[in-house]
Structure 1
């Protein structure tokens, strides 16, 4: 086996030399490219979260240390020098949500869509997509009814990241989604209406679930608990969260830490199809630039 891999390595090495390439230069280019991609994604994650403010604070401390060192401010230099030794461990605690999010994005892969050795159920991907489409239609119909009756709702569509811990906080249902079921769950006097509904693979998985609230200090004071919970869920997972305001009947969509407010039923349906069907099938749609970024009002 070792000889086989050595022969493959020798083949590619000979190929690089044959085309006039140099292994050292190619390795350096590959090294720089990988590091550049890592730095780009780190900056992207930092900019999209509250970690940006923390990074600015760290940069200010760094500038203070440099100035204190060159100006020979011994006491300040001593304090900052010892502070930097424990800062590495502090960063793990401070940036824990961002580190978790980065690792989840790294581990998110299309491999979980592939049935290996027949594992993964008997339904084909087309059957699942049809069921998801029926669920989207049911949610849109029920949202329209809820708006008319001025009742709120919080609906979470699970995607690649499984929300097992969130499901445990509520009541397991495991039923096919229908406008009647969704309407009954969010009826004002129903016992589960205050929590969130979790939809998994086109089924209503659970209801009455508790979601993590967003810690973003820049959230508008106009937003209530439902919207903060929706943003918190979207910050900690790749889920698509739909909110119906009980006060204004406005529809909002939270995804990847961004919130699009006051959307129509048509936009809701289009967005759910885009994120739950087209992105899964892979029609070339990119998630790198969410179209609602900066459109919250």
Structure 2
């Protein structure tokens, strides 16, 4: 047995950083898959790996050869199986990058206008429509998309490309209207489409009281750099989803702050 001093003789500060980075990446990946079906897939893979170690220890050559062949294409298989989680992981990195966090400084350096006062004209029709639908308990799902190119779920409804207004939003989500089911997609202060079908979140840890609109709002913010407003048809509560998380029962003042921050 090697002395403890010899065991850690080549252990330096960069090895500590290396271990911490690996641990951090594992934590990020776990936070993404927690509560989803991907956890069951990981458990299945872990059990298969244990079985592989067993047949290898018992020198079962045929089974070991089969596992070795499968392992040779395992990386590609893992990318296919976890493509959604990998996409969300990359989105998380991009959304939290230093460049993304310092947009305010970039505006200051390059002389662009700040949001205060400018953004309110853009969000005023949304706030007023939400106030009206909240009071009448009209169910609604509004998505704010930064990029709609190549995103099928933003174009699978009725294409409108109409100017954003309070009356238009109220008309679309009218309970007897043909477009009230599904989501309205807003981009660049335009109502791009209505009655869109969005992907539902696979998170199994959400409270049962959250319905399909809430799950669709969370789902779209998991797979794209979007945010979403949900108005409950049962209670009139306003909720706001971003980065795969949702804030429920928020006030209109809080909603205004969220929109001013995220529509920059």
Identify whether the pair has TM-score above 0.5, normalized to the shorter chain: yes
DSSP 3-state at the match of 1:125: coil
Asked whether 1:216 is paired with 2:202, we answer yes
CA distance in 2, matches of 1:222, 1:76: 48
Residues in 2 aligned to 1:205 and 1:57: alpha-carbon distance in whole angstroms: 44
Q: Distance in 1 between matches of 2:240 and 2:71?
A: 41
Q: Is 1:187 matched up with 2:174?
A: yes
Q: Match of 2:114? A: 124
- Matches of 1:206 and 1:86 in 2, distance apart? 42
Is 1:132–1:277's contact at 8 Å kept on the other side of the alignment? no
> 1:260 deviation in Å?
5.6
- Contact kept, 8 Å, 1:153 with 1:243, in 2: the verdict is yes
Q: For structure 2, which runs of at least 5 residues remain unmatched after alignment?
A: 1-10
In the alignment, what sits opposite 2:94?
A: 107
| Residue 217 (structure 1) shift | 7.3
1-side partners of 2:218 and 2:90: how far apart?
19
1:276 match? 259
Highest RCO, 1 vs 2 (Cα 8 Å, sep ≥ 6): 2
TM-score by length of 2: 0.72
How far did residue 93 of structure 1 move? Answer: 0.9
CA shift, 1:27, in A, is: 4.1
Distance 1:183 1:194 in 2: 13
- The Cα of 1:29 is off from its aligned counterpart by 4.5
Corresponding residue number in structure 1 for 2:243: 256
Contact 1:167 1:198 in 2 (8 A): yes
Are residue 162 (structure 1) and residue 162 (structure 2) matched? no
Structure 2: how far apart are the matches of 1:252 and 1:275?
11
Please state how far the C-alpha of 1:233 moved relative to its aligned partner: 0.9
Determine if contact 2:159/2:192 at 8 Å carries over to the other structure.
yes
C-alpha displacement of 1:118: 6.1
Kindly tell me: are residues 222 and 241 of structure 1, through their superposed partners in 2, closer, same or farther at Cα, counting changes over 3 Å? same
1:87-110 deviation line (CA, Å, top 9, x unaligned): 211111111111111222222346
Q: Aligned partners of 1:250 and 1:259: how far apart in 2? A: 13
Distance across 1 between alignment mates of 2:161 and 2:196: 15
> Secondary structure of the residue that 1:124 maps to in structure 2?
coil
Are 1:244 and 1:251, in contact at CA under 8 Å, matched by a contact in 2? yes
Is 2:138 the counterpart of 1:141? no
The answer to whether the 8 A contact 2:107-2:113 is kept is no
SS at match of 1:67: helix
Q: How far apart are the structure 1 equivalents of 2:118 and 2:154?
A: 21
2: CA distance, partners of 1:50 / 1:210: 25
Q: 1:37 to 1:243 in 2, by over 3 A?
A: same
Q: Counterpart in 1 of 2:3?
A: none
Quote the Cα distance in structure 2 between the aligned partners of 1:125 and 1:251. 23
> Is residue 143–residue 244 contact of structure 1 (8 Å, CA) maintained in 2?
yes
